[in-house]
Amino acid sequence: MAWTGKILRVDLAKGTCKDEPLRMDWAKQYLGQRGLGTKYLAEEIDPKVDPLAPGNKLIMATGPLTGTNASTAGRYSVITKGALTGAIACSNSGGFFGNEMKNAGYDMIIFEGRAPKPVYLYLNNGDAKLVDAAGFWGKSVWDTEEGIKAKHQDPLIRVASIGVAGEKGVLFACIVNDMHRAAGRSGVGAVMGSKNLKAVALRGTLGVKVRDAKAFMAAVAKGKQALAANAVTGQGLPKYGTQVLMNVINEVGALPTRNHRDSQFEGANKISAEAMAAKRPDGKSNLVTNAACFACTIACGRVSQIDRTHYTVAERPKYQVASGGLEYEAAWALGAATGVGDLDALTFANFVCNEQGIDPISFGATLGAAMELYEMGAITSKDTGGIELKFGDPKALTEMTELTGRGEGFGAILGLGSKRMCEKYGKPELSMAVKGQEFPAYDARGIQGMGLTYATSNRGACHLRSYTVSSEILGVPVKTDPLVTEGKAALVKAFQDATAAVDSAGICVFTTFAWTLDDIAPQIDGACEGNWTTAKLLEVGERVWNLERQFNMRAGFTAKDDMLPARLLKDAAKTGPAKGLVNQLGKMLPEYYQLRGWTPDGVPSNETLKRLAL
């Protein structure tokens, strides 16, 4: 129950689609989605494989709660070896695609090999086939999604696809479903493109069942009440979205600005949630409405519309409609990281990121690095095709977004990500990344725990692996001081394990502003066999974390890769509450290894592996 008990294995080289029973023994140990997908991947591929070679696999996995009416239960994840990082990648997306996979009768889909020519998978209630995608290759996510629905004469199909960026191997290309929800990070879209897989189109009408309906419905109702009553999930997120953070994080001096040279952005207010809601000269506001993913009772999603007279859209009606608006991470990367304070330019760049399937975090951060290289003369306008890459120039931002989305011109260089780009121009130290993946929107000098979070994240720098911002800034579940290192090792470990469990369940991590695992366990237990308790979920989370770590070590990563760029460790923050501070990773990391039950070299000890049945 809750699990369908079935997976679809698609051999792209042979063109075959086969059903397989789900390994229920693994489901009991890894739950679903992130955990279970990682287990399958780790069992099936050589961790040393080139991420873009046919030997890599790409797994789309739902969790057991996906497709039920538990709040936010529409999530799915893409698990593969990341194109950007060479590490384990697991990118989580909302929208409506995950539910459709479940209703089509599958817990996950495993893609292996490489198709001889572009194809897409069409799956309708257990009937799966690979279809020639020649007519869609070279098209954007938006055109592909519309085109597939039109071709099958079915507006109810749900599509996840790559844009031109994924086809061209932009290393931070993502997979976009439902027009603007994305499995965003680590370059999962580049892996999909390397397989000649343009899209996955799903239609499911089979229904999702739960184990104990009465217990499940009671736990779900209680969970929804808690979300509605909580100030963050009940008021802040629906009203302002994640963008509620822009001014807050700027105030605490942790808004990385211009490639982390500064940690406060003078234009923060102009690109904030408040600015999105404010009336423009045209009498409308950037924000049209909020929107929910499947089954979500929070509804933090933004729907935005650009001023029709703005230079980005004045001649282009296609972009004058309402579409996916700025979330905090995207607004930060496209704005503060590049020094651009033009809200509509950022919104346009965000539309294009969705349209062509590129991760706005890695893109904006890489562009910020390129702007610094340009400023010091390492990159010239000869390299950029005549475009001046000046910090703060909205046209540099929007033109480069379009070029990168199509993998053209200097966009192809930006598409390498900041690590490879900065190496190419002889300044590797200017890449603000861990394990090749760019930082998101929190400066580790002003929020110390995030330094440890980034350094130890299994998929490279990421806020979603342990969002200690929640504790250090927002005070959830308890307030800790963002400027100190004491207690942060334990905090990071606790967040990492709990988040890994949540990411394996089929629900959104944003619920954890209001829920603890005590709220989640009864919902999972009501839906699934296996006596799911808080303790068991924490064990699953820790097991998943260690499995990911093992995969990375086998791929060639060591403790040396649990490292931050020198800028965060040596150059103190210049302004704000963290003025004079660097991130003190060295104080936290040994304690973290110890708490994890790892050796001083960051290797999981035999005892730890045995305890977790790994």
The residues that touch another protein, with contacts defined as CB under 8 A, are: 67-69, 96, 99, 103, 156, 179, 204-210, 213, 224, 228, 238, 288-297, 299, 301, 303, 305, 321-323
Calpha distance 475→232 (Å, rounded): 11
The nearer residue to another protein, 207 or 386, going by C-beta atoms, is: 207
Instruction: Say if residues 73 and 513 touch (Cβ distance below 8 Å).
Output: no
- Minimal distance in Å, beta carbon 244 to another protein? 17
**What pairing do the DSSP bridges indicate for beta strands 175-177 and 323-324?**
unpaired
Task: Provide CB contacts within 8 A for 136, sequence distance 6+.
Answer: 118, 120, 143, 144, 147, 148, 161, 198, 199
The nearer residue to another protein, 161 or 305, going by C-beta atoms, is: 305
- Minimal distance in Å, beta carbon 287 to another protein? 9
The nearer residue to another protein, 179 or 553, going by C-beta atoms, is: 179
Lookup: tokens for 614: 């790994």
- Minimal distance in Å, beta carbon 473 to another protein? 26
- Minimal distance in Å, beta carbon 127 to another protein? 15
What does the angle CA 182 – CA 227 – CA 491 come to, to the nearest 5 degrees? 75
The nearer residue to another protein, 65 or 340, going by C-beta atoms, is: 65
- Minimal distance in Å, beta carbon 422 to another protein? 38
The nearer residue to another protein, 226 or 609, going by C-beta atoms, is: 226
Calpha distance 465→481 (Å, rounded): 20
The nearer residue to another protein, 217 or 614, going by C-beta atoms, is: 217
- Minimal distance in Å, beta carbon 61 to another protein? 18
What does the angle CA 183 – CA 360 – CA 388 come to, to the nearest 5 degrees? 155
Which residue from 350, 365, 438, 436 is spatially nearest to 401, judged by alpha carbons? Answer: 350
The nearer residue to another protein, 83 or 293, going by C-beta atoms, is: 293
Its sign, for the CA torsion 39, 183, 515, 463, is positive
- Minimal distance in Å, beta carbon 166 to another protein? 22
The nearer residue to another protein, 178 or 503, going by C-beta atoms, is: 178
**What pairing do the DSSP bridges indicate for beta strands 301-304 and 287-291?**
antiparallel
Strand-pair partners of 80:
58, 89
Task: Provide CB contacts within 8 A for 43, sequence distance 6+.
Answer: none
- Minimal distance in Å, beta carbon 203 to another protein? 9
The nearer residue to another protein, 225 or 247, going by C-beta atoms, is: 225
Calpha distance 448→568 (Å, rounded): 10
Calpha distance 63→90 (Å, rounded): 13
Calpha distance 415→417 (Å, rounded): 5
- Minimal distance in Å, beta carbon 99 to another protein? 7
Calpha distance 433→437 (Å, rounded): 5
DSSP state of 579: T
